[in-house]
Amino acid sequence: MLEFSAQQIAIMIQGQVEGDASVTVSNFGKIEEATAGQISFLANPKYEAFLYSSAASIIIISEQQQLKQKINATLIRVPDAYAAFATLLSKYQELKAQQLVGIQTPSFIAATATLGANHFIAAFAYIGEGAVLGEHVKIFSNVVIGENVKIGNHVTIHPGVVIYADCVIGNHVTIHSGSIIGSDGFGFAPKEDGSFQKVPQLGNVVIEDDVEIGANTTIDRATIGSTIIRKGVKLDNQIQIAHNAEIGSNTVIAAQVGVSGSTKIGKNVMIGGQTGLAGHIAIADGIKIAGRTGVTKTFTTANMTLTGYPAAEQKQSLRSQVYVKNLPELEKRVQELEILVQQLSQKA
């Protein structure tokens, strides 16, 4: 178990200590539940009352936070408490990962596979022929690395992940449990008799640097060429990325989104949960797509917000929703007008 003093933590997050700089912690806790030996933080003013009652040994707070009562914990003041706590969690995770080194048994590593320095291969992992793993790669139990897969440095692959043959994974990538990288795209050609002939999927998946992929997400290999996840992309759990799709750099996608084949999503795009995107369309840079939106066509204007089904610019979509809401009343008025017109026609 890792243990750090307040002074050591302050150096990590570039903060200033108030109180006993030698006090140590070995775990994290929410400010309302933390106990002695744990570190917590205060970022939301709604939780300020817990600052004075918390049993945490160390609490990270904002430089601007004014104290109204005496506090027993050692404080570390930083410009942004939430960001500093996130940085601390990341550093702690990295240090824990550094302790994992070596190869557990039973596991299978092909004779032609290449492993970089400071690797960790857990029991029941499989690494296929010609696979190349960089330095500081962590492979956990029941992971399957296919033939000729290339994996960069500082990559963590959690239990149950399958990476099919010929896929390429960049540096500083995290893939969470149950994800499938490089399975066949959904390609079937209709035949005259009504049946379907499978179209071989000969491409691969390329995942660039600094990508995180959530649990049970699937990314299909390209028919020809590559399905590409660009640098800095963050994918939530249970997302489907179809063959030959491309996700632009620093795009974030929430859970249960489906991206159809050959769709190109720009950089810095934000996509809400349960959104569906049709195939062979393009989404411009910086677009925000609200949850449960159905995107059926290309949008070329950057930084707009889309919502509804079919997707439209937010203001236009909201106006349409108002019209739909008023349809029963409009129908009633039309019926009344029809009756009035009929009566006037009879009098004429």
| Active site members | 243
HSE at residue 18, side-chain half, CA atoms within 13 A, is: 15
Chain-centroid distance of CA 25 in Å reads 30
The one-character DSSP state at 218 is E
Query: Which DSSP helix (H) or strand (E) runs through 24?
Result: strand 24-25
**CB contact set of 323 (below 8 Å; sequence gap of 6+):** none
The Cβ of residue 146 has, within 10 Å, a number of other Cβ atoms equal to 20
Tokens matching residue 193:
């008799």
Complete DSSP assignment for 240-306: EE-TT-EE-TT-EE-TT-EE-TT-EE-TT-EE-TT-EE-SS-EE-TT-EE-TT-EE-S-B-STT-EE
Instruction: Output the CA torsion 211→214→217→218 (10° steps).
Output: 20
Least Cα distance to 185 among 218, 155, 222, 211 occurs for 222
Q: Which own/partner pairs from 149-155 qualify as long-range (CB within 8 Å, at least 24 positions apart)? A: 152/209, 153/116
Reduced to 3 states, what is the DSSP secondary structure of residue 57? coil
**CB contact set of 91 (below 8 Å; sequence gap of 6+):** 12
Residues 336 and 348: their CA atoms lie apart, in Å, by 19
